[in-house]
């Protein structure tokens, strides 16, 4: 099912034509790779850069949702400081948001500033 919101544009966490790359051998991301602890139920991972205006708006949306939903963490990754991870995951612009389930599997991925309702809907699929 394809929805209109940016977080739900791609199915099963895969980018069109390329698939997800760069997670662990079992297809997951972990705290060591991200540099922060994952949420108990889900994690919102945001790739940002210092001068990215949409990244600031995305930070507010994701922090708000993480604060509303118990067991959800928001992890912001500095894309410029973590270039190896950015390349392995195929992040081509900021902000890019990954929604991880409790095991660190990417269930949704999108670029751009998401709407709160779209993030909540994506979390529903992750939990």
CATH number of the domain bearing residue 34: 3.40.30.10
- How confident is the model at residue 29, as a pLDDT? 93
8 and 126 Cβ atoms separated by less than 8 Å: no
Asked, for residue 13, whether it belongs to a domain, the answer is: yes
The residue range of the domain holding 74 is 6-126
Asked, for residue 61, whether it belongs to a domain, the answer is: yes
**Section 55-81 average pLDDT:** 97
Asked, for residue 45, whether it belongs to a domain, the answer is: yes
Q: Which residues are within 8 A (CB) of 49 and not within 5 positions of it... i.e. 6 or more apart?
A: 55, 78, 79, 80, 94
Q: What is the pTM of this model?
A: 0.80
Residue pLDDT, tens place only, 83-121: 999 998 999 999 999 999 999 999 999 999 999 999 999
Greater confidence, 20 or 104?
A: 104
89-121 b/e (C-beta count within 10 Å ≥ 16 → b): bebeebbbbbbbbeebbbbbbbbbbbeeebbbb
Asked, for residue 104, whether it belongs to a domain, the answer is: yes
Greater confidence, 22 or 97?
A: 97
Asked, for residue 1, whether it belongs to a domain, the answer is: no
Residue pLDDT, tens place only, 31-67: 999 999 999 999 999 999 999 999 999 999 999 999 9
**Structural domains counted in the chain:** 1
Asked, for residue 90, whether it belongs to a domain, the answer is: yes
């Amino acid at each position: 099912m394809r929805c209109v919101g940016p977080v739900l544009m791609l199915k099963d966490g895969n980018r069109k034509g390329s698939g997800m790359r760069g997670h662990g051998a079992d297809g997951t991301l972990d705290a060591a790779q991200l540099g922060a602890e994952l949420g108990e139920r889900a994690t919102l991972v945001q790739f940002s850069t210092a001068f990215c205006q949409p990244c600031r708006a995305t930070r507010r949306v994701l922090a708000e949702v993480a604060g509303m939903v118990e067991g959800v963490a928001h992890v912001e990754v500095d894309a410029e400081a973590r270039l190896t991870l950015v390349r392995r995951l195929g992040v081509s612009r900021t902000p890019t948001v990954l929604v991880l389930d409790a095991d660190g599997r990417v269930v949704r991925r999108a670029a751009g500033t998401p709407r709160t309702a779209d993030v909540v809907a994506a979390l529903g699929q992750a939990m």
